Structure 1
C-alpha cells in the first residue's frame, strides 16, 4: 500500500513539474501572444496583406514584361514585410502594454525571465514566415519568378532572421513613447526607411544622395543580403551587412532591456 501511494505521489509530482516546466511557459506565452495579435485586425491585416498587395501591383501588374522587377521586388518587399512585423509587433504593443500597466502585472507572474520578450520575438518571426511564404507563392505563381530550390530556401531564412534588428528597434521605441504616440513614431520611421533603402525602387533610379545615405539604415543591409541571394545586390561585402545587422540588434535590445529594468 505504501509503495503504491509513493508511486502515485511520484507520478503526480512529475505531472505537476511537467505542467509548470519553463519550456511549457515559454510555449504558452508565445501561443497566446500570437493568437492575441492574429485576432487584432489593425495589426494582422496590414502586416500580412500590404506587402503582398504592393508586390502584386508593382511587381506583377505594372511589370508584366520585366522579370527582373518581379525578382527584385520579391526580395525587397520581403524585407518590407519583415520590417513591419518587427517594428509594429514590438514598438506599438510594448508601448500600449506599458501604458496599461500590463508589464507590471507580467513581472508579478511566476513566469520564466525573458518569456515575455521571447514570446513577442517568436510571434514576429511567425508573421515574417507567413509574409515570406505568401510573397514567394505570388512570385512563383503569377510573377513568373524562377529560382533554384536553394535560393528559395535561403531567401526564406534571410527574411526570418531579418526580423531581429527591427524587433530590437521596435522594442526600444516601445520603451520610449506612449501607446498613443507609438503608431505615429513607428510609421515615421518605417515608411521613409523603406523608401530610402531602395525597397520600393532600386537605388540607381533615385538621386545619388539617397544612395549615399542608404547604408545608415538596417533595411538597406537586410535588403542587400536578400538581393545577394538572387544575384541582384550592389556587390557589397556580406560580412559587413551581417555585422551591421547584428550590431543594431545587440545595441537596441541592450538599450531596451536597460529601460525595461529601470
Structure 2
C-alpha cells in the first residue's frame, strides 16, 4: 500500500443523479406497496367518487342541477374527502405497521438517503390524493355540476390538492403514536368526527360554530371556496384558512418528529 492509496478518501459522496434515483426507487416501492393492498387502495380511491356520484347526481340530483351553490358545496366536500383519505390512512397505517415490525431501524441501516422513506410516503400520499380527486372532477364536469370558469376550477383544484398536506402530517403523527393494528381505528376516530363537525357535508346550527375551526377539513374547504370565488360559502378569511392549514401541519409534524426522535 503506497501513500497515494492512503490519501484516497475511504468513501465518496454519491452523485446527485444517484441520490435522485434512490428517492425515485423508494417512491416506486412505496406506491407498489399501497397498490398491492386492496383493503387500503380501493376504499381511499374508489369510495369518494362513488359517494359523490350517488349523493350529488342521484339523491340530490335535482337540487344540484338547479342550485349551483349546492353543487359546489357537495363537490368541495367529497373532493376534500378524496384528497385527505389517502394522505391520512395510507401514511398512518403503513408507518405504524413498519414501526411495529422494526422496519424503520432497518431503513436507517441501509445505504439510502436520510429520510428517503419519509419523502416517499408523503409523495405517495399526495399522488394518491390526486388520483382519487381526478375522477370526482371528471364526473362533476361531465354532469355539469361544476359551474365555474376554467381558471377558477384550476385554482380550486390546486387549493384542494394543497389541502392534503396537513393530512399527510396527521398520518405521520398517528403512525408514530400508535401500533399498526390500532392506527386505522385511531385515524377514523379523528377523521370521521371532523368530516361532520366541520360542516363539510351539511350546514351546522349556529350553536356549533364555535368548534368548527378545530377541524382541518374546515380550513381546506374554505381555502377551496376562496380559490373558486364562491362567496356564499366563505365563512372565514383566506388568510385564516391558510394559517389554519399551516398551523395543523406544523403541529402534527412536530409531534411526529418528537415521537420518532424519542423512540423511532
Unaligned stretches of 5+ residues in structure 2:
1-12
> 2 CA distance for matches of 1:86 and 1:209?
31
Name 2:199's counterpart in structure 1.
198
Contact residue 125 and residue 160 of structure 1 kept, 8 A? yes
Note the C-alpha offset of 1:228.
2.3
| Residue correspondence of structure 1 range 33-182 to structure 2 within 5 A | 33-67=30-64, 68=68, 69-182=70-183
What is the TM-score with the length of structure 2 in the denominator? Answer: 0.87
Name 2:188's counterpart in structure 1.
187
Note the C-alpha offset of 1:144.
3.3
Aligned-CA RMSD value: 1.9
Name 1:224's counterpart in structure 2.
222
Name 1:4's counterpart in structure 2.
none
Note the C-alpha offset of 1:19.
9.2
> 2 CA distance for matches of 1:17 and 1:36?
27
Unaligned stretches of 5+ residues in structure 1:
1-15
Deviations 1:147-188 (A, max 9, x none): 211122112211221111111111111111111111111111
Deviations 1:44-87 (A, max 9, x none): 10111111011111111112222332221111111112221121
Q: Return 140-149 or 130-139, whichever deviates more.
A: 140-149
Contact residue 157 and residue 224 of structure 2 kept, 8 A? no
What is the TM-score with the length of structure 1 in the denominator? Answer: 0.88
Deviations 1:107-159 (A, max 9, x none): 11111112111101100111111122111001011253232111221122112
> 2 CA distance for matches of 1:216 and 1:255?
17
Name 1:257's counterpart in structure 2.
257
Alignment of 1:248 with 2:245, yes or no, is: no
Contact residue 199 and residue 223 of structure 1 kept, 8 A? yes
Deviations 1:233-254 (A, max 9, x none): 2341101110111111112112
Please state whether the residue corresponding to 1:29 is helix, strand or coil: helix
Please state whether the residue corresponding to 2:233 is helix, strand or coil: coil
Equivalent residue pairs, number: 245
> 2 CA distance for matches of 1:19 and 1:214?
45
